[in-house]
Structure 1
């Protein structure tokens, strides 16, 4: 339950460079302007995709990417396709080579990375064995559910489910205490739904999908041997609907203060008088390790207790049976895999073709052994010079941010001082961890796929629980090096950039500075900005949830965020469906602020010199084009509708155009004027950082 990661391209940023300030400092750290071997730098812009029939001043996203959008078909096994998806897909053969080499290694010692990686992958690829086993791998767990004779046995079962990674009415996780960042704490939050969000159970326009979901639950129960599948499926959907009715919305869950509810164990018990927490805490391994917990949504737990009390045990047993089958289906025989994909792939997201088995196998290995694979990936595919150049870019962005804070016209001097203190405490992680994760506690067998998956989840659970009472591990990463993404963690006040994102179109070692500042520079700026968005700004430099703003600053900031919410509320990627400006506010702030700061850093890096014109683009134009081409993407309508409900990021075209409309430099770079569709009057442009 990594709810504390604010992703930004999911994405985010950092660096600890207090004291650097000024154009000269940035200039001396300038990123190399020549390609390897002394070759002249290239523009880094995919000019072949530029649609001259669309004016940059009217639709910058389609101007830069129009020919790509017209010619590109989303692959049959993808819900969307674009810069992120392609880069992640290009990484798959590299990871496959690493994994298959481990499997073929004749000198694999038991417990070695090669043995656990190779055997895990072999267990996934052995489809014949999975067909022979059928339901057998999950049968012992189904039997435990069937043996329930009293609701008092449910808490211990839910703790077992937590260790297995099986969905349950509430989620459990370990992370830093948001109001005491020196301690780890146990956290409980709402959960237990089979559909993506509570609104899928409550909104009238989702009725057709609910009917398909009901049919899917029935089919899965039947595959699991349930002779009363049709009636049980109806009861399960009714139970999940009851849980959905007492859940908080995604917008409510964005408020870290509202979601911080510190409860002594006796207070936790009072919330759910019909649900004894002692068996749960004992089975989860945290008895005696905590005196209090954090409950994200106390009213939900109270509502869960009411549902628990009024719902017959037989219905709960059917519900648990369903969630077991749902969670384990990808690791069972073909019938389960196909039915799982039919709903969650095709019905929900519009994908018509399953990914090749080897790609799913690579994904399963990564989910269980991500850093073991990542260590080998970095050795083969991450040149040291990429990390060095990234460090320079981060330093330059930090200089620009420091200067920008000092020049803000809406923030008081006292709050600026606090903001500078927070900025000075940022930590940056680039490429890969300093300390690799140890997987030696995991036993992997070639012929036991589900066992391997569940044991890996149990080891991960034990690793998390073991943190309680120990110092904060500041070397830990929340993503693997091969993940095409980045993040900001407010509790550690850190920005993290995995190795895989440091490739074109985000970072082009052969390109002139401008496009890299517009692409990876804006990503860096985005992640830094998460520390100062509407959520991140509620944490101080030490990672504690603390109000360090004056009332006047809060008022000024709220006025700007209200304006930004209204802008994005007006965007509609699918007719009749709009972006939720409140849900996406944090990411929209980070996009807008990140580009603004990256632009300032780019201008400082020029040290007064004029950038060359390359491929017909000035330096300023290449900067903004670098950002817009990063968001080149197409998405299936069904998937877009899911994300509009659940994703804190705006659709790609609005991340590009929505951000550009608020950038004064964009107007001058492309001569945008009143009457152009990209134009916003100066008073309507939101400039935050």
Structure 2
């Protein structure tokens, strides 16, 4: 029997690191075998148990590799096809486990599902996606660092953005910009306007031409601008003139009213009163001072929007709105202010009475000027008043004026209807409807003051009931009270153009302090007020130099592109709007295409160069030493130019805002949206910003104005600006349901009145502006639509230190522009008179209806700004 030989233990097997070769006397190498020979040999030999184990392990290893490679490729495919998270980035990756295989490159990926995937690939990495995810490239230039710091400093990160985004986006800014003592309201709009005006001030403070503008007429234009500015800044001359300029103006009003300078002494009393009222009204209106009623020249929107026609409407009041006249405390305040003004302009009152009624403030030089819009006259004042001054004491007379104005207020149309219902306020009638109703005014003589050779045949009356009420109110008012009303209307408007030491200035300022919660006697910046006055009077001239300083390069082209992209996004969304049928959607797209877009500055022949501007302002007579007269001249020129448009075609190149204005507007009859250069600056716009900031900030401005073309009022004007119902009845009814939803939402918001009470926002009054604000979703869609192209062009770069996604920064840019501090009194005034909602609700109220915002900030379903779909007012989905 053969003995089985013992197998050498593997623990004892050894092999030299270098085996001896034949040249060293070692064994000869075995003949070389091919792989096929070796495989055949293995297959021919019986497998030992050890070989079987190794073979099984090899097969298992190969199988595991195949599985892992398959899982990796599948998960990589899913990851590459996931939708972008905010700003186009892929979802964040969560690392959970890693498996490492020797002699291989190990990669770990994570999906957003509950499964954990660990992938090992051998040799080379998987192929890159065809469109790479956005790289987190950050800009570290000084401009980027400053921009990032500005954004960070505006935030209040202690706030939950899903609960109170307004505070989150603006809290830091509001803390860093406390309300100035001389203002009742100050926000990002006001701050930018101050910056714009500083640029204008630097131009006005100089004494030479601007080097970059070489037209000879520029020097003449600059002289006119600078003379107006110097006349405003010359406070010593204003103090020397005292009450004189206003007293002369008021004396002229009284003479006209009494018929002392119109040759009507031989008329009977009724005719005297009629002619006197007519002459004094025409005098005031020609200087831009509202009283009893107002005429404006605007397009005939229901027939030919570009044919300029006369419109008759209710007047502006001495108090901000009709609600104030129902407040006893406010009536008493107003009466006391009017009493102070009447005492100045009726000299028969005793000095003792006068002294008893004025404020005992001896710090006369501490008062700043109140920046009201300037009005005025350049006529001489006339003689002393004579024996008629005055049959009743100032206290009684002031009370009668307040009662008279209260009746006018009660007869006026509510502002929510006046602003939101253009069909209701369009009532075209023969001019005889006015002339035969308000018989206390001789309208042929009145019109001869403004348009002597173009007597109007028709007029649009915004509220016919007011004309009938006015006639009745005039019949119930005696001549003394009516004269006092005209006197106080002039004084309230013109007193701010006097020196700050005058009693008239102080009386009017006191009224504004109470209305807006301003600290009594606070001192404002005289230069700021004077630059504003120049811009109001000669704004297209100052705009020429402002644009030259601030609006160069491709700013206009880039600003226009944002607007155009939003128009495209809006048109694309029309097909998916649930309440709009195809016919109405097609018509809406046509209107969007027809909208004229104006950016930066006007190109009208009247304002395109220095020579044309000199002609445009030729009627404005400017003296270096008479600010009061200068502003009267500018106001008279504006009135004259408006009336000269009567019966003509609209100037399609004309602008309603000056280039340095921080605002924008939509003009329904002209079907145009207009964006002055003044608002195309930070925090709204910068041509070098990343796109997500530009579309979030300026995009909101652009989308707001575009959306106005389709809001509660704008939707009633077709693509030609003509007033008509151009949507189908079904679409109109469904739109009204959406509008009603918004009205209820905003009417539920309240503000603090400063006295422990609450005042509700008027959702009807603010309806159109709230709809305009809802256009932010179109800006968001426009940004998304251009994102890939913008990313490739390097326009979606990130800023250092901002731990936010691009989507989040889009909405932060939107929220920041509404940063504002405001006194309760000023806020109450805004709620009662302003068609815009308070800033907080312009942000949070808008985002309440934007699901994309809640998604960007990953808001909980229970968050205030992430309501369920049935609680949202979705207009554009």
Tell me if TM exceeds 0.5.
yes
Matched residues in 2 for 1:44 and 1:524: separation? 25
Find 2:781's aligned residue among 600, 608, 611: 600
Q: CA–CA distance in 1 between the matches of 2:525 and 2:545?
A: 23
Between the aligned partners of 1:337 and 1:659, the Cα distance in structure 2 is 41
Which residue does the alignment assign to 2:625? 447
* Counterpart-to-counterpart distance in 2, 1:99 and 1:612: 39
Q: 2 CA distance for matches of 1:115 and 1:482?
A: 19
Per the alignment, residue 766 of structure 2 pairs with: 584
Structure-1 residue corresponding to 2:670: 492
Cα distance between partner residues in 2 of 1:380 and 1:145? 43
CA distance in structure 1 between the aligned counterparts of 2:742 and 2:306, rounded to whole angstroms: 35
SS of residue in 1 equivalent to 2:751: coil
Alignment pair present for 1:383 and 2:558: no
1:34 positional shift: 9.9
Can you list the C-alpha shifts for 1:350-407, whole angstroms capped at 9, x where unaligned? 3542422221111111111011111111111222322121011111111101101122
Decide whether aligned partners of structure 1 residues 462 and 71 sit closer, same or farther in structure 2, where only a CA change above 3 A counts: closer
Task: Say yes or no: does 1:546 pair with 2:724.
Answer: yes
1:95 aligns with 2:189: no
Question: Would the aligned equivalents of 2:429 and 2:460 in 1 still touch at CA under 8 Å?
Answer: yes
Secondary structure of 1:187 counterpart: strand
Distance in 1, matches of 2:684 and 2:143, equals 20
Distance 1:374 1:684, change over 3 A: same
1:445-474 per-position Cα deviation (integer Å, ceiling 9, x unaligned)? 122222111111111111111112222101
* Change beyond 3 A, Cα 1:311–1:561: same
Asked if 1:321 is matched to 2:487, the reply is: yes
Distance 1:649 1:440 in 2: 36
Query: What is the match of residue 151 of structure 1?
Result: 273
Structure 1 gap ranges (5+): 1-32
Please name the residue that 2:315 is paired with.
191
1-structure distance, mates of 2:161, 2:139:
28
What are the Cα deviations for residues 514-554 of structure 1, in whole angstroms up to 9, with x where unaligned? Answer: 11111101110110000000000000111111110111111
Q: Which of 460, 478, 500 in structure 1 is aligned with 2:638?
A: 460
The reply on whether 1:266 has 2:432 as its aligned counterpart is: yes
Alignment-derived partner of residue 574 in structure 2:
405
Alignment of 1:38-57 (within 5 A): 46-57=151-162
CA distance in 2 between counterparts of 1:103 and 1:208 reads: 53
Tell me the equivalent position of 1:133: 241
Q: CA deviation at 1:572?
A: 1.5
Give the C-alpha shift of residue 53 in structure 1: 2.0
The CA distance in 2 between the partners of 1:434 and 1:268, in whole Å, is 38
Q: Deviations over 1:222-262 (max 9, x none)?
A: 22345232221111111111111111111121211111111
State how 1:30-109 maps to structure 2 within 5 Å: 46-101=151-206
Counterparts of 1:45 and 1:332, CA distance in 2: 40
Pair 613,162 (structure 1): closer, same or farther in 2 beyond 3 Å: same
Contact 1:155 1:275 (8 Å CA) reproduced: yes
Do 2:253 and 2:283's aligned partners in 1 also have CA atoms closer than 8 Å?
A: no
Displacement of 1:189 in angstroms is 0.8
CA contact (8 A) 1:36 1:510 kept: no
Matches of 1:512 and 1:182 in 2, distance apart?
A: 40
Match of 1:232 among 390, 397, 402: 397
CA distance in 1, matches of 2:407, 2:576: 51
Q: Distance in 1 between the 2:163 and 2:196 partners?
A: 35
Distance across 1 between alignment mates of 2:208 and 2:627:
15
1:566 is aligned, of 704, 721, 744, to 744
Conserved? CA contact 2:660–2:676, under 8 Å:
yes
Q: Which secondary structure state, in structure 1, belongs to the residue aligned with residue 299 of structure 2? A: strand
* Paired residue secondary structure (1:456): helix
User: What is the aligned partner in structure 2 of residue 516 from structure 1?
Assistant: 694
CA change 1:209–1:40 in 2 (3 A) is: closer
* 1:112 shift after superposition: 2.4
Q: Deviations over 1:418-449 (max 9, x none)?
A: 11111111111111111315212221112222
Distance 1:348 1:645 in 2: 13
Counterpart residue number, 1:308:
474
Structure 2 residues not aligned, in runs of 5+: 1-136, 259-271, 350-392, 608-612
Choose between structure 1 and 2 for higher RCO, CA contacts under 8 A separated by at least 6 residues.
Answer: 1
Which one is further off, 434-443 or 284-293?
Answer: 284-293
CA distance, structure 2, for counterparts of residue 612 and residue 451 of structure 1: 54
1:277-318 deviation line (CA, Å, top 9, x unaligned): 222111222553421111111111111111111111111111
Cα distance in 1 for partners of 2:464, 2:825 equals 33
Distance 2:568 2:813 in 1: 21
How far off is 1:155 after superposition?
2.0
Paired residues of 2:690 and 2:798 also in contact (CA < 8 A): no
Task: Pick which of 278-287 and 38-47 moved more.
Answer: 38-47
Indicate if the aligned counterparts of 2:700 and 2:814 stay in contact, CA closer than 8 A: yes
**Change over 3 Å in CA distance of 1:609–1:449 after alignment to 2:** closer
1:77–1:211: structure 2 CA closer, same or farther, 3 Å change rule? Answer: same
Q: Once the 2 structures are TM-superposed, how far is the Cα of residue 653 of structure 1 from its aligned partner? A: 1.0
Q: Which moved more, 1:520-529 or 1:508-517?
A: 508-517
Give the conservation status (yes or no) of the 8 Å contact 2:138–2:797. no
Whether 1:200 aligns to 2:320 is no
Q: How does 1:201-220 map to 2 (within 5 A)?
A: 201-202=325-326, 206-220=327-341
When residues 133 and 413 of structure 1 are mapped into structure 2, their CA distance, relative to the original with a 3 A threshold, is same
Matches of 1:89 and 1:616, distance apart in 2: 31
Tell me, what secondary structure is at the counterpart of 2:653? coil
Q: Using a 3 Å threshold, how does the CA distance of structure 1 residues 168 and 39 change in structure 2: closer, same or farther?
A: closer
Q: Post-superposition shift, 1:132?
A: 2.5
SS in 1 for 2:760: coil
**Does the CA contact (< 8 Å) of 1:177 and 1:183 recur in 2?**
yes
Task: Tell me the SS of whatever aligns to 1:186.
Answer: strand
Paired with 1:359 and 1:329, the residues of 2 have a C-alpha distance of 18
Task: Tell whether the 8 Å contact from 1:111 to 1:443 is kept in structure 2 after alignment.
Answer: no
Contact 1:135 1:224 in 2 (8 A): no
Structure 1 or 2, whichever has the larger Rg, is 2
- Work out the CA distance in 2 between the residues paired with 1:383 and 1:662: 37
Is the alpha carbon distance of 1:270 and 1:39 closer, same or farther for their aligned partners in structure 2, counting shifts above 3 Å? closer
Match of 2:227 among 114, 119, 136: 119
Select which of 649, 658, 666 maps to 1:480: 658
Q: How many Å separate the matches in 2 of 1:560 and 1:332?
A: 50
If the length of structure 1 is used for normalisation, what is the TM-score? 0.90
Q: Quote the Cα distance in structure 2 between the aligned partners of 1:283 and 1:140.
A: 21
TM-score (norm 2): 0.71
